Structure 1
Amino acid sequence: MTDGTTPLSATLDEAERVLREKHDRLLTVVGQCADAVAAEWDGDSVADRDRVVPPFAHALDGSGALSRLPRALADAVTATGRPMPAPPVAAPPYVVVTAEGVVLRATTGEERLVILLRTFDVAADESARYVRTGDVSVEIEVR
């Protein structure tokens, strides 16, 4: 734990460790939800964001993962040694389902911890196309 004087960026590895170790099953379910969404596409990608976000949010909700994501966020924040001013909920601004995955956000003092559980990428070609990444990567930053 930190005393709040250590920069938040110095504790990101601990936050990621907690997510991977304590919430590994949740990360697996998030990946399974993304797989189910991609399985409905006609090919290996889609250009329509509405074929990604609403079905992904629906799958996360139906699997119970959506309701478990706030606990994962709270545990990641706790791992940084900082308190959360309020318990997170499975809705913005704490949990947001996007075309790239799930974004978890928490404000800790003057900094914001942002965690992306990336499940989809945007292909860099002439048109924006969404593709399944094949796994769930955990990307954490401070803003």
Structure 2
Amino acid sequence: MSDHSHLWAACLADPADDTARLVLADLLRESDDSDAQAKGRFLWAGVTAAGFRDADLIDDPHYYAAQAELGAVAASGAPARWLGLLWIGPDPLTRSDWAWDATRDRVTVRIGDTLGTYVRGMLAEVAASLEQWLVLSRLAPMPFS
């Protein structure tokens, strides 16, 4: 199992632990692959912004750097492409197929009627219409088959 796989597993095993997320973010940002770099930047920014979730007044430049990274990666379409890997939306996605919005460490991507919400840099929620859910359930491989 690769370092990437171990770190992804650690993130999933303890979603509240930021240490594994930040180590994974650093590893991804050092990659030669531009998509991996985007994932690392997005993950770092999400975790960093989440640290200010309860602040009334934010004057720390790290927060604003994190917001800039979240915005840059979201505007590039990377989170929409990642959501598209779940068979959501047309393949390939075009810029007119998706939209995004952000609040603090939450980035929400809309593709058609489906919403994907990233929290602290990782996909945390997917909201789909019943019709879309039925389509997705037919496409997704069954884990026990």
TM > 0.5 fold call: no
| Structure (1/2) with the larger strand percentage | 1
Relative contact order (C-alpha < 8 Å, sep 6+): which is higher? 1
Please give the range of the TM-score, normalised by the shorter of the 2 chains: 0.3 to 0.5
TM-score, scaled to structure 1: 0.43
| Structure (1/2) with the larger helix percentage | 2
TM-score, scaled to structure 2: 0.43
